[in-house]
Amino acid sequence: MTVSLTTEQLEKFHRDGYLVIPEFLTEEDVSKLRRRADELVEAFDPSSHPISLFTASGQSAEGKPHSEDDYFLESGDKIRYFLETKSVDPANPRALKVKPHQAVNKIGHGLHLVDHLCRRKIMGEPIQSIAKQLHINDPRVLQSMYIFKQPNIGGEVPPHQDSSFLHTTPLSAIGFWFALEDCTPDNGCLAFVPGSHDREISQRYIRVAGPPVKAILVDAKTGEEGKGAYQVPSEDYKLAPCPKGSLVLIHGSVLHRSSANTSMNRRLALTFHVIEGTSKYSADNWYVLKLR
């Protein structure tokens, strides 16, 4: 099924750098994708998995930087589990403070490659047609994940630009973000700086040779580690709440973030990225290219 964006929708995306499309998914789509997320998370057994945390600082509970964690770095074509920082006891990372299914922050990053249901939805004609309307002539999918943003403990995601992580020449990344539950200011909906996609990307998240092999954020111009982040006043960010079933399109250069979940309601999303297949994928990107 081909999906046609309206002139107004295209104008808004190109003006603001993002677009919320309500009711993109049917109720049946939402139910199936949410059920699959719950099945995957119920299968998580912390006793047989590394304790790998998703953190804004990149530090794991066991003291090893998330960016030096092979479990994370080699997840591009696999289903792997990453936990909320507040779900573990810092003194004993194997001791979860909540039930295992409530501890998971993210499942990724190869759902489009190895999970049949997610693959069908991610790789379908509607996504391909939207990508082409956004001037991606040869759409290629990468970095797919469920993001849970758990009640009360779901951490914030700091301001970033997606092309910092999935750099191509020329820049081409676009994020596709399916809301599988209602997204509100209280449970950490996305927030954007409208029009900020007209700026250059300020940082790169690159893989560097070891030992140990690791990924680091560097200034996009100077290569200096930990530098280059845009400093933008909080009031410049516009909240983008959306009901379940919505699709949020995210330009690779638009600044966006999400706050911590301070509510009793989970904020589940399925997200992935599309790049132009004819562009040059940067060899030093953290994500080892696993395209389909």
Q: How far apart are CA 183 and CA 244, in angstroms?
A: 7
Say what the pLDDT of residue 58 is: 47
Q: What is the SS3 assignment for 229-251?
A: CCCCCHHHCEECCECCCCEEEEE
Enter the tokens of residue 28. 């049946």
Which CATH number fits the domain that encloses residue 70? Answer: 2.60.120.620
Domain assignment of residue 1, yes or no: no
Domain count within the chain:
1
Joined together, the tokens standing for residue 59 give: 């530090």
pLDDT for 253 equals 99
The 3-state DSSP class for residue 83 equals strand
Residue 222 located in a structural domain: yes
Query: Is residue 63 predicted with pLDDT exceeding 50?
Result: no
Distance of CA 212 to the CA centre of its chain: 25
State residue 57's pLDDT score. Answer: 44
Give the phi and the psi of residue 107 in degrees, each rounded to 5: -120, 120
DSSP secondary-structure letter at 57? S
Return the pLDDT at 46.
83
170: cis peptide before it, omega within 30°?
A: yes
Q: Is residue 55 part of a domain?
A: yes
Mean pLDDT computed over every residue of the chain: 92
In-domain check, residue 19 = no
By CB neighbour count within 10 A (0-12 exposed, 13-18 middle, 19+ buried), where does 29 fall? middle
Confidence of residue 212 (pLDDT cuts 50, 70, 90): confident
In a domain, 77, yes or no: yes
Decide if 239 contacts 248 (C-beta within 8 A).
Answer: no
Separation CA 242–CA 222 (nearest Å): 38
Q: What is the domain extent for residue 157?
A: 25-281
How would residue 54 be classed by pLDDT, with cut points 50, 70 and 90? low
- What is the pLDDT, as a whole number, of residue 69? 79
- In whole angstroms, give the CA distance from residue 4 to residue 228: 37
